């Protein structure tokens, strides 16, 4: 049986170079980075080297890179600390954000009695900037806007430069979950008007359990996890040194090969769109994922012309054929609930049809896409 992995938006295959770096760290550089002896100093030097390498690529200051366990912790940290420390009284977000943002905002509304507003979306799932402007202007409360750069289910690319400009005009803070875009697109924090963003290494061929928060200098945020003075005091706890060097290696490699890998993966998506439309003409693309210019090159979310009953067996059938993809975010795969993203943009009738997210990486091939589309076509016609 052929094995095809097309769930790269959930997590990616770790690069061989990353594994080698992590093995070396585990075997040789095992000192505690907070220890003052040579073993500790060696580990501490490598942690700071990683921080500087990442900051240089982003055109950030090293002190603005705070290592976390991943995107979820970083999102929680920024939203919670902004409310607690920066006198934020209003959070503005959207109903198609990752649950790390949505559920955190909902909890903060209960705990701190803040105002929580959701910006209106257009039919494709893009936030309406005119409505965002109205929400920003409606009162004088301190506001935090949290809108993701690339949607993890439908791939829409949000204009964060325009959003950042609006936030700046109204004195609001701007946070973006950039888990699906950092490592896949060029970034320059000196040109992007943003206060905070979040990153997870396993989305760009690094290890799981490590990521970072970008926190603009002099933000005023205080620690969420208390203890030692690690991570500039923002996050106590012994640094997972092996994961940090793995993150660094994956990040540097992603940007060293960015142009070539964008061209290759974009070519895969273009091929996938053309072939699947030809083989299954009644197929639909959710959000803007069928538009190469308005969605990320890394994923496509398709709605198949199948009835609900048959659709229930689709993911199981693909798995039996060795094909890995998803119905939506991997974070909700254990839930019987449908996609909260698709619920916001599709009609009740459209939601009855099965939708699948296929996400690509440079490890994939056109032959794998041919096989996948063939399996889908056979299932649809059976």
- What pLDDT sits at residue 135? 98
In tens digits, what is the pLDDT along the chain, a chain of 382 residues? 799 999 999 999 999 999 999 999 999 988 999 999 999 999 999 999 999 999 999 999 999 999 999 999 999 999 999 999 999 999 999 999 999 999 999 999 999 999 999 999 999 999 999 999 999 999 999 999 999 999 999 999 999 999 999 999 999 999 999 999 999 999 999 999 999 999 999 999 999 999 999 999 999 999 888 999 899 888 999 999 999 999 999 999 999 999 999 999 999 999 999 999 999 999 999 999 999 999 999 999 999 999 888 988 999 999 999 999 998 655 555 455 689 999 999 999 999 999 999 999 999 999 999 999 999 999 999 8
Instruction: Kindly report the backbone phi and psi dihedral angles of residue 196, in degrees, each rounded to the nearest multiple of 5, phi listed first.
Output: -145, 145
Q: Listing from the earlier edge strand, what are the strands of the sheet with 284-285? A: 284-285, 299-303, 355-359
23 Cβ partners below 8 Å, 6+ apart?
A: none
- What pLDDT sits at residue 286? 98
Q: What is the 3-state secondary structure (H, E, C) of the chain?
A: CCCEECECCCCCCCCHHHHHHHHHHHHCCCCCCCCCCHHHHHHHHHHHHHHHHHHHHHCCCHHHEEEECCHHHHHHHHHHHHHHHCCCCEEEECCCCCHHHHHHHHHHHHHHCCEEEECCECCCCCECHHHHHHHHHCCCCCEEEECCCECCCCCEECCHHHHHHHHHHCCCEEEEECCCCECCECCCCCCCCCCEEEEEHHHHCCCCCCEEEEECCCCCCCCCECCCCCHHHCECCCCCHHHHHHHHHHHHHHHHCHHHHHHHHHHHHHHHHHHHHHHCCCCEECCCCCCCCCECCCEEEEECCCCHHHHCCHHHHHHHCCEECECCCHHHCCCCCCCHHHHHHCCHHHHCCCEEEEECCCCCCHHHHHHHHHHHHHHHHC
- What pLDDT sits at residue 336? 56
- What pLDDT sits at residue 382? 87
Axis crossing angle, helix 258-279 with helix 366-381, rounded to the nearest 10: 20
| Contacts within 8 Å (CB) and 24+ apart, 26-33 | 26/242, 29/241, 29/245, 30/241, 32/238, 33/230, 33/238, 33/239, 33/241
Selecting among 81, 167, 325, 331, the annotated active-site residue is: 331
Q: Please tell me the distance from the alpha carbon of residue 311 to that of residue 285, in angstroms, as a whole number.
A: 16
Residue pair 149/180 in contact (Cβ under 8 Å)? The answer is: yes
CA atoms within 13 A on the CB side of 89: 8
- What pLDDT sits at residue 328? 63
Pairing state of beta strands 211-215 and 284-285?
Answer: unpaired
- What pLDDT sits at residue 327? 86
- Look-up: residue for tokens 């698709």? 342
Q: Please tell me the distance from the alpha carbon of residue 82 to that of residue 172, in angstroms, as a whole number.
A: 11
Q: Which residues does residue 115 pair with via DSSP β-bridges, in sequence order?
A: 90
CA atoms within 13 A on the CB side of 123: 2
Q: Please tell me the distance from the alpha carbon of residue 42 to that of residue 45, in angstroms, as a whole number.
A: 5
pTM for this entry = 0.95
Residue pair 205/362 in contact (Cβ under 8 Å)? The answer is: no
Is 236 exposed, middle or buried (CB count within 10 Å of its CB: 0-12, 13-18, 19+)? middle
- 81 a catalytic residue: no
Q: Please tell me the distance from the alpha carbon of residue 200 to that of residue 209, in angstroms, as a whole number.
A: 8
Domains, the chain: 4-12+258-381 (3.90.1150.10), 16-256 (3.40.640.10)
């Amino acid at each position: 049986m052929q094995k095809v992995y097309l769930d790269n938006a959930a997590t990616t295959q770790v690069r061989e170079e990353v594994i080698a770096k992590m093995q070396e760290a585990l075997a040789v550089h095992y000192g505690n980075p907070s220890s003052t002896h040579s073993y500790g100093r060696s580990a501490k030097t490598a942690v700071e080297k990683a921080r500087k390498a990442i900051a240089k690529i982003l055109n950030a200051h090293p002190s603005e890179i705070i290592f976390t366990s991943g995107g979820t912790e970083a999102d929680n940290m920024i939203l919670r600390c902004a409310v607690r420390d920066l006198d934020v009284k209003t959070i503005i977000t959207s109903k198609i954000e990752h649950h790390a943002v949505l559920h955190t905002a909902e909890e903060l509304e209960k705990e701190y009695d803040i105002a929580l507003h959701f910006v209106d979306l257009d039919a494709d799932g893009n936030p309406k900037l005119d409505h965002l402007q109205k929400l920003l202007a409606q009162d004088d409360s301190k506001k935090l806007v949290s809108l993701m750069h690339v949607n993890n289910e439908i791939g829409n690319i949000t204009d964060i430069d325009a959003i950042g400009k609006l936030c700046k005009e109204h004195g609001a803070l701007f946070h973006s979950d950039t888990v699906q875009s950092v490592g896949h697109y060029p970034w320059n924090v000196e040109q992007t008007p943003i206060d905070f963003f979040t990153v997870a290494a396993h989305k760009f061929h690094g290890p799981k359990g490590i990521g970072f928060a970008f926190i603009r200098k002099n933000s005023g945020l205080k620690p969420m996890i208390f203890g030692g003075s690690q991570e500039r005091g923002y996050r106590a706890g012994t640094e997972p040194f092996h994961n940090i060097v793995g993150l660094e290696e994956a990040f540097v490699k992603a940007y060293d090969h960015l142009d070539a890998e964008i061209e290759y993966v974009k070519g895969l998506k273009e091929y996938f769109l053309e072939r699947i439309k030809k083989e299954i003409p009644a197929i639909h693309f959710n959000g803007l994922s069928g538009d190469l210019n308005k969605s990320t090159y890394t994923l496509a979310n398709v709605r198949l012309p199948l009835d609900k009953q048959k659709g229930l067996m689709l993911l199981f059938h693909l798995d039996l054929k060795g094909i890995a993809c998803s119905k939506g975010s991997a974070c909700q795969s254990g839930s019987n609930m449908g996609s909260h993203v698709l619920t916001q943009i599709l009609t009740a009738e459209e939601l009855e049809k099965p939708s699948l997210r296929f996400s690509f990486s440079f490890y994939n091939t056109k032959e794998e896409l041919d096989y996948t589309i063939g399996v889908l076509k056979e299932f649809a016609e059976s």
